[in-house]
A and B are shown apart, each in its own frame.
Chain A
């Protein structure tokens, strides 16, 4: 039995009705007029804010332990994991007075280099580095985007003030913290001001 070949799509010319574009145009007009009566997919930003997903990856923060020290033990696993190479840590010996072997003297994250992949959070064995949902970062110079240890801790302080329930999170399902979209630059600035007042 010879194989039957069915030609598909051998239409070389459109029909005259198709060539005249009339029917497609009317179809298109009906589609667009339907858009007129449907919901607007717009979030009018300063007034309305998008509800961010719970595992949103925004600005970093350095968490504190029970004594208020940074949890970080300066193991440099985050800076090793970082694909953008934006974390710089200077470690120092904790000494016998401190219960930690190492602690970070300097801990800097260049938020302009950061690609917000969250690998540092994944890598951290101490849950010392975590991410907030803050994404509306704005500043005047590039240097202002290099967040040092104090600023990252201030981010934590401001964040924890808004979400006290997030202070102890040993057994959480996600590495990244639950979020709230109310967290803004001004919160961090307020926390920074309180910090300087305390000193």
Chain B
């Protein structure tokens, strides 16, 4: 049983993450409609729940157009590169812990000592996909790609620095270790309010969600980097975006919302396995709530202007995170 566990987790996690993408699409479409006094797609199936299936069928059956002017291999490579890191980072995200036969098993495909570094490294590969897709397509896409590269580079810095303060407190790069540290003390958001807030802001920027969707900005750049993509290749960009959102939401939960820690549940005198299952459910709930927050935010705010984006990134977030690190270090030196 034991050696097969990673494979079981792999199968389960892949299924859960893959199937939550269409789930997110229907939730986003309905919720966005409700936020704008509309009703949203409600025709396909009960309450419109089959809408993502209809969308997927449409994407699969649409004509796959490859424009003549593109560099073919780069054009085909870009959507693949969008999906690959999005699913790759799932490998190190822990969902919880289970005690089986007296052994603690983390629900995680790969246990590494550098979990958070791994995620930061792999998820920044997404920008190459956007730049490649933009470079081969056309002028609008190229503008989107340029914005994307500038945006992702300038927001990866404060993201890493915001995580840094939390890593300093926890003293480990292992995600399960950071969660354990929060269970022993309090949730990261209360220990590092500035770091947490900035991490959430940069997570919006890294996933290209509004108010940071300048790479796409459909009002100005047609469709941004995926202007020239049709059918399933467009759908892959779409899937990659939602999967990136899922990993970003998982990261926010793990780093700043206590991971699978559910308050008071461990002191209720339940069996350890029950507690652990409740905790896994709690992790899922937190991730889902953050996803809803992503949607809520998207349909509230307009897009940043480009100079505002750079202003916020370089003049606000980076100095704030640096100051936060220094402050954390000083406080740690005094109180420990």
Once the chains bind, are A25 and B301 in contact (CB under 8 Å)?
yes
| Contact with A29, one of B31, B37, B39, B297 (Cβ below 8 angstroms) | B297
Once the chains bind, are A28 and B38 in contact (CB under 8 Å)?
no
CB within 8 Å of A: which residues of B? 31, 34-39, 296-297, 299-301, 312, 316
Once the chains bind, are B37 and A32 in contact (CB under 8 Å)?
no
Once the chains bind, are A41 and B37 in contact (CB under 8 Å)?
yes
Q: How many chain A residues touch the partner (CB < 8 A)?
A: 17
Known: A19-B316, A20-B316. A28 touches B300 (CB 8 A): yes
Is A31 an interface residue, CB under 8 A from the partner? Answer: yes
Q: Can you spell out 29 A-B residue pairs with CB atoms less than 8 angstroms apart?
A: A19-B316, A20-B316, A21-B312, A25-B297, A25-B300, A25-B301, A28-B300, A29-B296, A29-B297, A29-B300, A31-B300, A32-B296, A32-B300, A33-B35, A33-B296, A35-B34, A35-B35, A35-B36, A35-B37, A36-B31, A36-B34, A36-B35, A38-B37, A39-B37, A40-B34, A40-B38, A40-B39, A41-B38, A42-B38
Once the chains bind, are B300 and A40 in contact (CB under 8 Å)?
no
Q: Inside 8 A of B37's CB, which chain A residues have their CB?
A: 35, 38-42
| Contact with B39, one of A20, A21, A44 (Cβ below 8 angstroms) | A44
CB distance from B45 to the nearest CB of A (A): 16
Q: Inside 8 A of A38's CB, which chain B residues have their CB?
A: 37
| Complex alpha-carbon distance, A134 and B237, angstroms | 45
Q: Inside 8 A of A28's CB, which chain B residues have their CB?
A: 300-301
Which residues of A (129-173) have their CB < 8 Å from a CB of B?
Answer: none
Q: Which residue of B lies closest to A36 (CB)?
A: B34
Q: Which residue of A lies closest to B297 (CB)?
A: A29
| Complex alpha-carbon distance, A39 and B37, angstroms | 7
Q: Inside 8 A of A20's CB, which chain B residues have their CB?
A: 316
Q: Inside 8 A of B39's CB, which chain A residues have their CB?
A: 40, 42, 44
| Complex alpha-carbon distance, A33 and B299, angstroms | 10
Q: Inside 8 A of A39's CB, which chain B residues have their CB?
A: 37
CB distance from A41 to the nearest CB of B (A): 4
Q: Inside 8 A of B297's CB, which chain A residues have their CB?
A: 25, 29
Q: Inside 8 A of B36's CB, which chain A residues have their CB?
A: 35
Additional A-B contact list (17), CB under 8 Å, known A28-B301, A36-B34: A20-B316, A21-B312, A25-B300, A25-B301, A29-B296, A32-B35, A32-B299, A35-B35, A35-B36, A35-B37, A36-B31, A36-B35, A38-B37, A39-B37, A40-B34, A40-B37, A41-B37
| Complex alpha-carbon distance, A40 and B30, angstroms | 12
CB distance from A34 to the nearest CB of B (A): 9
